[in-house]
Amino acid sequence: MRSFLTLIFTLAGLSLAEAHAFLDHADPKVGSTVSGSPAQVKAWYTEELEPAFSKIQVFDASGKEVDSKDVKVDPTDKALMTVSLPKLAAGTYQVKWSAVAVDTHHTTGTFTFTVTAP
Amino acid sequence: MACAIVLLLTPALVQAHGLEGDRFFPPTPLTDDPFAVDELSLPLVQYNPAGASNEVDITASLSKEIFPKFALTLSDTYINLNPKGGPAEDGWSNVGFNAKYQLWEIPDHEFILSIGSDITLGGTGSKGISNNPSVSPNSPLGYDYFTTYTPNLYLGKGFNELPDCLKFLRPLAITTVTGYDLYANAAQSNALEWSGSLQYSIPYLQEHVEDVGIPRPFRDMIPLVEWQMTTPTNKDAVPTTGTINPGILWEGKYCQISAEVSVPINSASGPAVGGLIQCQVFIDDLFPKIFGHPIFGSDETTSDK
């Protein structure tokens, strides 16, 4: 169908674009429990991201941001966004992400992971 | 000057269709979703077996956001009737318009309430298609000579607030549309239209609750049950008629495909099980320069970063 629409709209002088960036998977996994503090949160998306307008934040149970505020979109895999973490105490942490795909579509989302003592 | 340069370099962000907080409310075949956004349904094909004839409806609709949170929709249905023992009949139903406004949204609670109205213009359908108001006052059998106005209330709510012990039910969400048919024909009994959907979003489970490792294409599926009912308000009219429609919806990158079976709730609703298939095209993803934003004003102009 996309080929057909591409043909139609190319003939009309228009071009197809990319879609919304939704979370594909993450490390730590969504809703998972990990033993020991992870070094970073990695989030893979369904589309390549616009680095200047995409971010991940990690909050502890009291709502305090605990990540190192060094969000990066991987230059070799622009669908991968990471943020570093200091050593986290045992507890449940909320990840809030905001992703802007290269076509400027904006999506947001949250998930949690739990850290236990190693 | 610096601010002006920053503003010029900041892209106008395009809001995702159907998102309220973490929840994506997909457009479902029988329950108009509460979002006033750009949508293209091309087509919705319904098969409705009936006692006297079988019917195939092919519906197309296009929605366009005019102002932020306000959209207009144009729709029409091509009907094929196959009476038993008689010649087939084809034609267009009356043209339908819808106006919708997103009145109240609470993203953290995955809640949205919208208001709107359907207007079905009498006399715009094919003359060869006859209607039988004694069977159902809102039967999609096409031509009515009178116009119908249906003010609607739209609701959407996700189950994200369920406690941890019920976390695997958080992917559930409900949408409803409640409307009241007002006919421009005094002889016609007015009717309450009430439809809804109960959805279990596997993408929501994977992205926001727990990654349980469901592979594609099942990861992109949303099992659901829809109901579509008509209750005439004239006490002498036929009882409530309608269908229960279990089915499944698959979310692709640029389109969504749904299939449902339609089970009549009583003999007045039909003699046998029917079905429907719908393809919903995400035109804002395909053509973001044209769709995905209002014609006047903007949903969002700058990033929050």
Range of the domain at A51: 19-116
Look at A109 and B206 and tell me if their CB atoms are within 8 Å.
Answer: no
Of B211, B289, B305, the CB nearest to A98: B305
Note whether B260 and B199 are within 8 A (CB): no
pTM across the whole model: 0.85
Write out pLDDT tens, residues B88-129: 778 888 899 999 999 999 999 999 999 999 999 988 887 665
Check residue B301 and give its pLDDT. Answer: 39
Note whether B75 and B305 are within 8 A (CB): no
Check residue B298 and give its pLDDT. Answer: 76
Question: Tokens 């228009």, residue?
Answer: A14
Three-state DSSP state, A12: coil
**pLDDT under 70 in chain B at which residues?**
1-17, 50-53, 127-143, 235-237, 299-305
Residue A10 lies in a domain: no
Phi/psi for B14 (5° steps) reads: -100, 120
Closest residue in B to A28 (Cα–Cα): B211
| Interface membership of A12 toward B (CB under 8 Å) | no
Residue A85 lies in a domain: yes
Write out pLDDT tens, residues B123-149: 888 766 554 443 334 444 446 778 899
Name the pLDDT band for A10 (thresholds 50, 70, 90).
very low
| Interface membership of A98 toward B (CB under 8 Å) | yes
Check residue B219 and give its pLDDT. Answer: 94
Q: Could you please report the per-residue DSSP string of B149-185? A: EEEEEEEEEE-TTS-GGGGGGTTEEEEEEEEEEEES-
Write out pLDDT tens, residues A48-67: 999 999 999 999 999 999 99
How far is it, in rounded angstroms, from Cα B86 to Cα B64?
40
Residue A1 lies in a domain: no
Residue A4 lies in a domain: no
| Interface membership of B11 toward A (CB under 8 Å) | yes
Check residue B184 and give its pLDDT. Answer: 79
Closest residue in B to A100 (Cα–Cα): B13
First vs last C-alpha separation in chain B: 21
Domain count, chain A: 1
Check residue B300 and give its pLDDT. Answer: 56
Check residue B103 and give its pLDDT. Answer: 97
Cα B224–chain centre separation: 13
Q: What single-letter DSSP state applies at residue B283?
A: H
Check residue B67 and give its pLDDT. Answer: 92
Check residue B176 and give its pLDDT. Answer: 98
ipTM of this predicted complex?
0.85
Instruction: Give mean pLDDT, residues A68-95.
Output: 96
How far is it, in rounded angstroms, from Cα A51 to Cα A72?
7
Q: Chain B contacts of A45, Cβ < 8 Å? A: none
| Interface membership of A67 toward B (CB under 8 Å) | no
Please provide the average confidence, as pLDDT, over all residues in chain B.
Answer: 83
Exposed, middle or buried by CB within 10 Å (0-12, 13-18, 19+), for B235? exposed
The amino acid sitting at B302 is T
Query: In the structure encoding, which two tokens stand for residue B3, read together?
Result: 């601010």
CATH fold, domain B14-286, is Porin (2.40.160)
Check residue A102 and give its pLDDT. Answer: 78
| Interface membership of B145 toward A (CB under 8 Å) | no
- The answer on pLDDT for A14 being more than 70 is no
The amino acid sitting at B172 is L
Name the pLDDT band for A99 (thresholds 50, 70, 90).
very high
A-B CB pairs within 8 A amount to: 92
CATH code where residue A65 lies: 2.60.40.1220
Query: In the structure encoding, which two tokens stand for residue B28, read together?
Result: 């479902």
The amino acid sitting at B67 is F
